[in-house]
């Protein structure tokens, strides 16, 4: 009988630890709003630059956000060309 009580206690402890772990993961993702958008820094792809610029704009004061977005949009072609040149020469291999 003592062995079963010990196994039950270990099983309950493992269950409690896993609940805390997965609950912490869910709470962290909820608090950081990561359910709403993909993790572009891991995925890469064509939307990565827009995602980065939106993250920067989100941290600006509200009255400066639209001006920042307009400035980035007006310089979009130059930024894309510069990024392509830097990527071609290995600037991002560090």
Domain boundaries defined on the chain: 1-36, 37-94
pLDDT recorded at residue 8: 95
Residue with tokens 């309950």: 12
Q: What are the DSSP calls for the chain, one per residue?
A: -HHHHHHHHHHHHHHHHHHHHHHHHHHHHHHTTTTSS--HHHH-STTHHHHHHHHHHHHS-HHHHHHHHHHHHHTHHHHHHHHHHHHHTTTT--
* pLDDT on residue 21: 95
Write down the pLDDT at residue 51: 76
Q: Which parts of the chain have pLDDT scores under 50?
A: 40-42, 93-94
- Predicted pLDDT at 40: 46
Model pTM score: 0.41
CA count, 13 A, side-chain hemisphere, 5: 2
């Amino acid at each position: 009988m003592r062995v079963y009580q010990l196994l039950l206690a270990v099983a309950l402890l493992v269950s409690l630890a896993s609940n805390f772990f997965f609950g912490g993961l869910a709470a962290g993702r909820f608090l950081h709003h990561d359910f709403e958008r993909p993790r572009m820094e891991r995925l890469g792809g064509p939307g990565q630059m827009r995602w980065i610029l939106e993250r920067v704009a989100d941290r600006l004061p509200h009255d400066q956000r639209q001006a920042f977005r307009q400035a980035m949009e007006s310089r979009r072609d130059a930024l894309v060309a510069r990024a392509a040149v830097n990527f071609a020469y290995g600037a991002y291999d560090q």
